[in-house]
Every structure is written in C-alpha cells, then in structure tokens.
Chain A
Amino acid sequence: MLRYIFRDIGEKGFKFYFFLFIAVIYLPLVLLVVFSFNDSILMGFPWRGFTLRWWEQFLHNPTALGVVKNSFIVASVAAVVSTALGLLAAFVLVRHIFRGKNLITYSIMLPMLFPGIVVGISILIFLRSVLNIKLSLFTIMIGHILFSLPYVTLILMARLIGFDRSLEEAAYDLGASEFTTFRRITLPLIMPGIFVALFIAFTISLEDVVIAHFLAGAQATIPVFVYGQLRRWSGLPMVMAISAFMIMIMAVLLIISLISARRRY
C-alpha cells in the first residue's frame, strides 16, 4: 500500500517538475515583456502603472529602428547564402563516395567546434589587418554564414540520407531530364529540410551576439546594440522595449514552428 502511495507521489512530482521547469524558463521573458510597459525610469519591481512611453521612444528612435532593419537584412542574407552553400555540399557528401570525403565533412563541421569568440576574433584580425576591409553589415554576414554552415549542412544531410532515391530513378526511366527530375521530384521532397535549415540559420544570425560583437562596425544588429547599452547601463527602459520586441518575434517564430509541427506529427 505504502509503496503505491510513494509511487503516486513520484509520478505527480515528475509532472509538477515538468510544468515548473516550463514556467521558470519562460518567467524572465514574460517579466521583461510586462515590465517594458512599466511607468518607471528604473528597470524592475515594483509595478508603477501602465505606459507606452518606452515603446514610443523605441519606435521613434531612428538608431533603434535602423538596428532592427540591420538585424533582419543580415539574418536573411546569411540564412539564404549558408543554406545554398550547405545544400550544394550536402548533396555531394551524401550521394558520392570520393577520396578526402571525411576530411571535408569534418572541416565543414569545424565552426561548430571552436568557441564563437575565437571564430569572431580571427575573422576580425584577418579582415582588419590583412585584407584591410572596414567592418560593416557585410562582415557580420560573413561570420554568420560561416557559423551556421555546419548546422545547415548537418540538417540537410540528415534529410538527404532518408531520401528514397528510387523515386528519382523512376523519373529518369520515364524519360525525365536531370533538371526536370530535380525540379519535380528532388526539390519538393527536400523542401521541408530546406525550410528548417533557413529557419535555423536565420535564428542563429538574429540571436548571435558573440560574432557580431567583433565584426560589427558603425552599424549594429539588435543584440550588439542591446549589449552596448547594457554595458553602460544607459537608456534602459527603451532597451527593455527593444528586448520585448525581440521576444515577441521569437514567440511568432515559435508559433509558426508549432503549427507546422502539428501538421506533421
């Protein structure tokens, strides 16, 4: 009897822990969004009433808006380029056997193995002291493409390994050209993988602060801008509004992936 009671407590405890975990990991984000509407110049408790002042400040601040635009430009370009590079490489790595294949696979995984700080710094000194290129949004893109390449390639390789090649062969047998087969058979089948890769690369770029911190010139992305403001602890309420804005973008991305997951599983 006692044993069953204990087991019941154990099961309930598990469930309790699970929901507590979810609540705790979302707590800071919820607080941040709520307190971006707090009518107080100081960040934090207590609640002093509702205001849209900080959001207005953010939406009327050309620097802050420019930073948001920069972030989206960098993330979009980085996502598209790294997915394109990863797709080409993944095709070859999954479908062909050749000398040096392992070496190439490992070297594409390399950016994942180094701490971001080392990757950022080495690109920085290379661009600045050897190529003498000025830091700009373009240099951030270079870093982000490199950094998301292993993730994108791994996702696409996994998708291609599970690919049923007899479908392509059937198309060839029925007289389809290589290009038609690719367009009508291969592409539609790996499209979900491409979307996942784009999504991951976009998110990596949008949320990265480590690499962008070293490679950003006068034009910053959102995380770099927020980091700079926080280090000086200046303009805090507006920074809270920007952060809340970022959290809302995350929520939208999350809902999109939840809906697409519902459809598939």
Chain B
Amino acid sequence: MSISNKILKLIRKSEKLSIGMQLSPAMFWIVFFLLIPLGILVIYSFWEMVGTRLIPVWDLRNYVDVFTRVGGMYIRLFVKSLAMSALVTVGSIALAYPVAYFVSLRIEKYKYTWLILLMGPYLVCWVILVLGWKMVIGYSGLLNYLGQLLGLISEPMSWMWNNWWAVVFILIMGWAPWLVLPMFVSLEKIDKSLLEAAADLGAKPMKRFLRITLPLSSPGLLVATFFVLIPTFGEFVTPALAGGSRGVMYGNAIDASFTSMMAWPFGSALSIFLMIISLIVATILIRIVGLEKLMESL
C-alpha cells in the first residue's frame, strides 16, 4: 500500500518535472526578453538622462512631461494617433467584410485557394508596401499620371501624399487583405439553414443580413479589430515614409526619443503610456471574444 503510494507520488513528481522542463524554454524567453525588459522600461520611465548617463531620480516628471511638454504636443499626438487607428480599423474592416462574405457565401469551389491569394499582399513587408503605394498615389504615381494623361488634372495632386490621409489610406489597404480571414472564419460557422428559415418566413435579404449574418459574425469583427488596432497604435514606419511632417504619429515620437534624441526616460514614459492603453483595449477585446475564438481565427 505505502509502496504503491510512494510510486504514485514519484510519478506525479516526475510528471510535474517534465511539465516544467517542457515549458521552461518558452517561459525563459518570455521572462528574460519580454517581462524583465518591460520592467526596466518601467524603471527608466522614473529616471532621468544627463548626456548619455542614466540617473535614478525616481520622480514622475517624465509622465508629467507626456502631458505638458511642448504645450501638450505629445498628448495631442496621442489623441490624433488614436483617432487615426480607429479610422484605419473601421476602414479596413469595411473594405474586407464584403470580400469575406463573398468568399464564404458565394464561392463554392476552391475557397481556400482564394483566401490564400487574398492574404498574399500581407506577406510583403510594410516598407515595400508603402513604396508600392507611392507608385499608385505618389507625386509621380499611377493616379497622377493617368489624370494628367486624360486631361482631368493639370498638375499632380499633391494632397495625396505626405499627410495623415496618405498614412491612413495605406494602413487601411495594407490591413484589409489580412482581415478577410478572421471574418471568413466566423461567417463560415453560421448555420446556413438559419438563413433559409428566415427566407421561408418572409424576411427580405437586407433584414436577413442585419438580423442573422451580421450579429453571428460579430466575433470575427472583434478579432479583426484586435488584429488592427493594437499594431496601429504604435505605428511609426508608414508615417515616417508617407506622412511627411503633418502625418507624424505617436509611434514616431517614441522612435525619435530612442534613436535620435537619446531621451530614454521620456521615451520610456511615452511607451508605458501607450502600453497601458493597448493593454486595456486588448483586455476588453479578449474578454468579449475569448481566447479560443482568437485561436480559431489563426
């Protein structure tokens, strides 16, 4: 009796050990290269930098600076970036939803082939995508060229490049292909007999869409929001290349304070502020969607 108990205990112990051993590499990476660095970021946000030396002063000056430096420029930039991110999210979902709907409910053969084809442009890195869009909407891009060729415009339209509008447009067009997938997944899950039943009961197509398809595909919409919103908050590549001086986003301020300004503590405070907002949004979205739904959409 006692021997078998001991063996049982030993087995349990070795199971625990093997669980620990299998998890430790991944957890090491998370702790050592994410959690500890984030902790240091938090610590530095209370410090100060004189020249290239970091001095532990432990005050909140950097956080006050986020709100007050240069007449509140940074906080206005934050609000502007938030608005741009929201616009990008709404725009890219609006563009991608009909496509997901079409693939799920209208295409019968080779659905997955079409899906992979749709995701293709997302596989290209942002920098190259921005360069590609410059070929379309830039000063010597396709639209200006065609416009002049057809005599619609007398000189290139300069409003299309180097402003916040170009940044939002490129981000929308860049994200849209990727968003088809999560929305497709939740549209696929809808029981098509519900639509037939509604049709039998006399519901018009528009009503069927608003009362059945749209509410049942809402998890996909939330997952899509999750995919776009958080990376767009911290975006700095597209604004740096296509935004000019008026299209700068909050991410550019963070980037500058680490790469060109050598203002690490202030940059840390800017990052922490961004992180807290992102975490709040992420938590809300995960609460609504659930981790399982997020997993299914991958």
**Which A residues form the contact surface with B (CB < 8 A)?**
7, 11, 14-15, 17-18, 21-22, 24-29, 31-32, 35, 42-46, 84-86, 88-89, 91-93, 96, 98, 104-111, 113-119, 121-126, 129-130, 142-143, 145-146, 149, 151, 153-155, 157-158, 203, 206-210, 213-214, 222-223, 226-227, 230-231, 239-240, 243, 246-247, 250-251, 253-254, 257-258, 261-262, 264-265
Contact = CB atoms under 8 A, between A and B. Distances in A.
Contact of B234 (A28, A118, A207): A118
A232 to B, nearest CB: 11
Main secondary structure of the interface of A (DSSP, over half): helix
B194 interface: no
B237 interface: yes
B177 interface: yes
B30 A121 contact: no
A125 B135 contact: no
Given A25-B173, A28-B133, A250-B120, A122 B145 contact: no
The 10 closest A-B CB pairs, nearest first, are A28-B132, A115-B234, A44-B140, A122-B37, A45-B145, A126-B37, A207-B125, A117-B234, A89-B26, A31-B135
Given A113-B279, A121-B41, A261 B113 contact: yes
B135 A35 contact: yes
B263 interface: no
B298 interface: yes
Main secondary structure of the interface of B (DSSP, over half): helix
A234 B218 CA distance: 45
A145 B36 contact: no
A159 to B, nearest CB: 11
B150 interface: no
B44 A240 contact: no
B109 to A, nearest CB: 10
B62 to A, nearest CB: 14
A245 to B, nearest CB: 10
Given A92-B19, A258-B113, A117 B33 contact: no
Most buried by A among B141, B230, B237: B237
11 contacts: A21-B118, A32-B128, A44-B139, A44-B140, A98-B19, A110-B34, A113-B279, A145-B29, A153-B26, A230-B131, A265-B110
A32 B131 contact: yes
A89 B23 contact: yes
A226 B135 contact: no
B155 to A, nearest CB: 14
Contacts of B278: 113-115, 118
A108 B268 CA distance: 23
A147 B4 CA distance: 45
